[in-house]
């Protein structure tokens, strides 16, 4: 029997229509457009409507990815949704709700909680399921309504995050040249309190007191996270490139997690990546957590800049702290 590999067949994304600009934020908190651009590179981010939830965005991104993979919905045998802003804490999973919205029944579906690293974590699970022969077509989603856990009176966090979703189809192939080369996902729980939503949860169940203290909002040790992110992201890429004997200049598209332009620049420079190699969406979407990387891949794809078998290098970090990198040739047809 020939060896089965996992191929990244297609990408799709969805960004809500409402734009929240730096100028809008100037009216809400003590900040300025200049400060936000200089410290983060963000100019605007998208915010979902009140009645537009994580699963709605995930389902829209999925519809596109399924169409572009040219498969039928019924052929999908696993749905993974990476999110830290699920429709419900903690049942049912957002993956189950998306499956229902897509009209797919009788399919294994579950959520992944790895914050901003969630999409790449989910890709590693999809790869393992496909390579083992257990599944043939996996729908991998990163979807976040981050605005639902952001405190819009806290200037240290509200400037950073936005809403959106991205999705990909990972399918079985016998063509080794199409195969996902490697995914390295890891974590260090020693930094568990760097990024945290303290409630609801078993430590702080939902209560009037918890809400009065604002424990339902994301809290971040920004400066410490920044320093750790630069170090971790750089080392992570060095490791995966060395392990697979690939040089930085052989990468067609470096697609880092879009958290802060200064982090991306520092990592890109340390790795010797040229400006043309680095994919940037931070200015228009901010940090969309698990949706960040698939949204960036989708931008590249829709601009016509992603061709068959071009090599993508993904690199991400997030709450946990978690991090992950991946070497993936694009196994779909170019757009246009
Ligand atoms: N507008 C104006 N001033 C602000 C501000 C804002 N939105 N947010 C913070 N400040 C102030 C601080 O209060 C501080 O003032 P002080 O010196 O009087 O105390 C000053 O700016 C510097 O704060 P600091 O936190 O050291 O800034 P920084 O250069 O680290 O930038 C972040 C702050 C949040 C942009 C940056 O730390 C960051 O991006 N961290 C990583 C975040 C991240 O990636 N999180 C997601 C992980 S997936």
Fold of 182-329: Peroxisomal Thiolase; Chain A, domain 1 (3.40.47)
The C-alpha atoms of residue 129 and residue 274 are separated, in whole angstroms, by 34
pTM recorded for the entire structure: 0.97
- The finding on whether 259 has its CB within 6 A of some atom of ligand 1 is yes
Taken in order 75, 165, 229, 235, is the CA torsion positive or negative?
Answer: positive
Ligand 1 center from residue 155 Cα (angstroms): 8
Ligand 1 center from residue 159 Cα (angstroms): 10
Q: What are the extents of the domains in the chain?
A: 5-176, 182-329
- The finding on whether 267 has its CB within 6 A of some atom of ligand 1 is no
Q: What is the pLDDT of residue 2?
A: 82
The reply to whether 5-176 and 182-329 are identical in fold is yes
The C-alpha atoms of residue 120 and residue 317 are separated, in whole angstroms, by 10
Taken in order 52, 285, 151, 61, is the CA torsion positive or negative?
Answer: positive
Nearest CA residue ID for atom 42, ligand 1: 222
- The finding on whether 35 has its CB within 6 A of some atom of ligand 1 is yes
- The finding on whether 101 has its CB within 6 A of some atom of ligand 1 is no
Number of neighbouring beta carbons within 10 Å of residue 72 = 10
Tokens of 260: 């802060």
Tokens of 14: 């969805």
Ligand 1 center from residue 300 Cα (angstroms): 29
Those residues with Cβ within 8 angstroms of residue 124's Cβ, 6 or more apart along the chain or in another chain = 183, 185, 324, 326
User: Ligand 1 test: best mutation among 37, 38, 156, 289, most atoms within 8 Å of CB?
Assistant: 156
Q: What is the DSSP letter of 187?
A: E
The C-alpha atoms of residue 293 and residue 224 are separated, in whole angstroms, by 22
pLDDT tens by residue, 74-96: 999 999 999 999 999 979 999 99
Tokens of 69: 């993979």
Ligand 1 center from residue 294 Cα (angstroms): 26
CATH code, 5-176: 3.40.47.10
pLDDT tens by residue, 238-254: 999 999 999 999 999 99
Q: Enumerate residue ranges in the chain where pLDDT < 50.
A: none
- The finding on whether 318 has its CB within 6 A of some atom of ligand 1 is yes
Nearest CA residue ID for atom 3, ligand 1: 31
> 75 with 136: CB under 8 angstroms?
yes
User: Distance of alpha carbon 335 from its chain centroid, rounded?
Assistant: 21
- The finding on whether 173 has its CB within 6 A of some atom of ligand 1 is no
Strands in 182-187's sheet, in edge-to-edge order, are: 182-187, 322-329, 311-318, 253-256
The C-alpha atoms of residue 80 and residue 50 are separated, in whole angstroms, by 25
Residues annotated as catalytic are 116, 257, 287
- The finding on whether 222 has its CB within 6 A of some atom of ligand 1 is yes
């Amino acid at each position: 029997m020939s060896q089965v590999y996992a191929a990244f067949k297609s990408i799709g994304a969805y960004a809500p229509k409402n734009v929240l600009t730096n100028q809008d934020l100037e009216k809400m908190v003590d900040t300025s457009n200049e400060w936000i651009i200089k410290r983060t590179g963000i100019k605007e981010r998208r915010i979902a409507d009140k009645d537009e939830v994580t699963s709605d965005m995930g389902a829209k991104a999925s519809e596109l990815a399924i169409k572009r993979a040219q498969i039928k919905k019924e052929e999908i045998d696993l749905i993974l949704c990476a999110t830290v802003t699920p429709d419900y804490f903690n049942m049912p999973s957002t993956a189950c709700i998306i499956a229902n919205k897509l009209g797919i029944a009788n399919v294994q579906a579950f959520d992944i909680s790895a914050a901003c690293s969630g999409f790449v974590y989910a890709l590693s699970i999809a790869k393992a399921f496909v390579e083992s022969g257990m599944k043939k077509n996996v729908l991998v989603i990163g979807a976040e309504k981050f605005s639902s856990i952001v405190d819009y009176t806290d200037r240290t966090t509200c400037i950073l995050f936005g809403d959106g979703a991205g999705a990909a189809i990972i399918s079985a192939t016998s063509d080794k040249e199409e195969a996902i080369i490697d995914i390295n996902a890891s974590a260090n729980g020693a930094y568990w309190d760097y990024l945290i939503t303290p409630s609801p949860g078993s430590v702080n169940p939902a209560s009037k007191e918890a809400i009065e203290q604002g424990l339902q909002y994301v809290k971040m040790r920004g400066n410490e996270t920044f320093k750790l992110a630069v170090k971790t992201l750089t080392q992570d890429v060095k490791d995966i490139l060395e392990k697979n004997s690939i040089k930085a200049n052989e990468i067609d598209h470096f697609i880092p997690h879009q958290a802060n332009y200064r982090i991306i620049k520092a990592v890109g420079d340390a790795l010797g990546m040229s400006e043309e190699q680095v994919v940037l969406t931070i200015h228009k979407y901010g940090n969309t957590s698990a949706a960040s990387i698939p949204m960036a891949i989708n931008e590249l794809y829709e601009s016509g800049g992603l061709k068959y078998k071009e090599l993508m290098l993904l690199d991400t970090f997030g709450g946990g702290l978690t991090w992950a990198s991946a070497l993936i040739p694009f196994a779909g047809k170019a757009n246009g």
